[in-house]
Amino acid sequence: MAGNERIDGGPRSAIVVGAGIVGLSTAWFLQERGVEVTVVDRTGVAAGASWGNAGWIAPTLTLPLNSPATLRYGLRALRDPAAPLHIPLAADSGLGRFLFQFAASCRRSTLRRAVRANLPLNEECIEAFDVLVSNGVDAPVTDAPITALFRSADEARHMLAELDGLSEAGQSVDVTHLSGAALREQVPLASPAITAAINVNGQRFIDPGRFVHALARAVVDRGATIHTAEVQGVYSSGVGAEVFLRDGDPMTADAVVVATGAWLSRLAGRLRVPVQSGRGYSFTVPVDRPLPGPFYLPGIRVACTPYRDGLRVSGTMEFRDPYEPAVPARVGAIVASAGSLLEGVRWAERTDVWVGPRPVTPDGRPLVGEMSRNVYVAGGHGMWGLAHGPVTGRLLAEQITTGKQPDALRELDPLRRTGR
């Protein structure tokens, strides 16, 4: 694609590097504003964290990772190889830098700032999905509460305290307490070990792989081309920007967006906030009883979602290089921890075992905006890239085409230092 003369100062052409939910959403909303788009991805559509995640569009549950409780839990987890949070004892220099900044960010003041920074994304994330679906993205989005399950009322009170904190920050929170027959009706797989539950109302869920592929088709139907190629560098070049490929001639456009998930730091070299791969695992299991909606096991940090007549089970935060193969012991740890809490799940028949790298920042805030002239970045959403992908794309497309930073992106400045 060649860069063209701009109309009224706005770009006529853009290259988006990354074909996950964030990159493709940005491409779609740029097209909505009349920009010609080309998408480039190293391996293809939904090849990173977009395919195998839990599929939740859950604004009420977008709790940043950098809390004092997470830090305390992480220190204990170092001694437990089966813990949901896994940190290798032999960390390389990049991971060491990230962990140092993460530990420094696990303060209440930094956490509160991250919560406030994410509120605008939470407020608009469901509407952004509605815009996509009502304008040609052919994939279902299902309304359903997410049911949190607990062994005791004390466990439930801990989560309610977290939700109260979100409510105080301005997040809309609507919960319903469940017990007895109402609990079993909502989650018929819950074992007798589960005695309390909370419905977190007003949430949605999707089949993430199906949705992202439908979004890619919509982008192509609108005139975009999706190239499979490895990008080696992205640079500003006068009135536009250039994308250099490992094999092939450089590509030029008026603007370039880097939306490569856990690989963001490798192309966006000016970032001072590191982006670390926090790998999550999932697999699919058959179940004996159908489920009306997703449920969550906060005590072991496992998310479960109805998926193709079965159950997708997701869990673990593993700080490890995104290129490394899956570790079977991590899947085994999920099964061992969830086995006594659920009945009617055929664990031995699991399929679609997957590991995907989620892009985590140490201060709990994504990186969205202009990195250098005509070069933009979008990523670092951690576990909430799926929920926040479309609204991020809409806001960034607005900034790219108008030259004005939306208020919602001010706290997400990609050139900030951690915690600033």
Supply the CATH number for residue 143's domain: 3.50.50.60
Q: Is residue 5 part of a domain?
A: no
Q: Is residue 418 part of a domain?
A: no
Q: Which two tokens stand for residue 374?
A: 């005509």
Distances, alpha carbon 47 to alpha carbons 26, 41, 147, 331, in Å: 17, 9, 29, 20
CA neighbor of 389 nearest in space, from 378, 399, 398: 378
Q: Is residue 346 part of a domain?
A: yes
Distance CA 379, CA 377 (A): 7
Q: Is residue 206 part of a domain?
A: yes
At 184 the pLDDT is: 94
Distance CA 18, CA 15 (A): 9
At 90 the pLDDT is: 63
User: Per residue of the chain (420 residues), what is the pLDDT tens digit?
Assistant: 333 344 456 899 999 999 999 999 999 999 999 999 999 999 999 988 889 999 999 999 998 988 888 877 676 666 666 677 777 766 677 888 888 898 999 999 999 999 999 999 999 999 999 999 999 999 999 999 999 999 999 999 999 999 998 999 999 999 999 999 999 999 999 999 999 999 999 999 999 999 999 999 999 999 999 999 999 999 998 789 999 999 989 999 999 999 999 999 888 878 899 999 999 999 999 999 999 999 999 999 999 999 999 999 999 988 888 888 888 999 999 999 999 999 999 999 999 999 999 999 999 999 999 999 999 999 999 999 999 999 999 999 999 999 999 999 999 999 999 878
At 194 the pLDDT is: 97
Cβ-based neighbours of 184, under 8 Å, separated by 6 or more: 190
A 10 A CB-CB count for 372 gives: 17
DSSP label at residue 133: H
At 263 the pLDDT is: 93
Say if CB 23 and CB 38 are below 8 A apart.
no
Q: Is residue 354 part of a domain?
A: yes
Q: Which domain holds residue 314?
A: 13-412
Say if CB 359 and CB 380 are below 8 A apart.
yes
CA neighbor of 52 nearest in space, from 226, 262, 211: 211
DSSP per-residue letters across 361-374: -TTS--EEEEEETT
At 30 the pLDDT is: 98
pTM as predicted: 0.94
Q: Is residue 392 part of a domain?
A: yes
At 5 the pLDDT is: 40
A 10 A CB-CB count for 218 gives: 21
At 321 the pLDDT is: 87
Q: Is residue 339 part of a domain?
A: yes
Q: Is residue 182 part of a domain?
A: yes
Number of domain units in the chain: 1
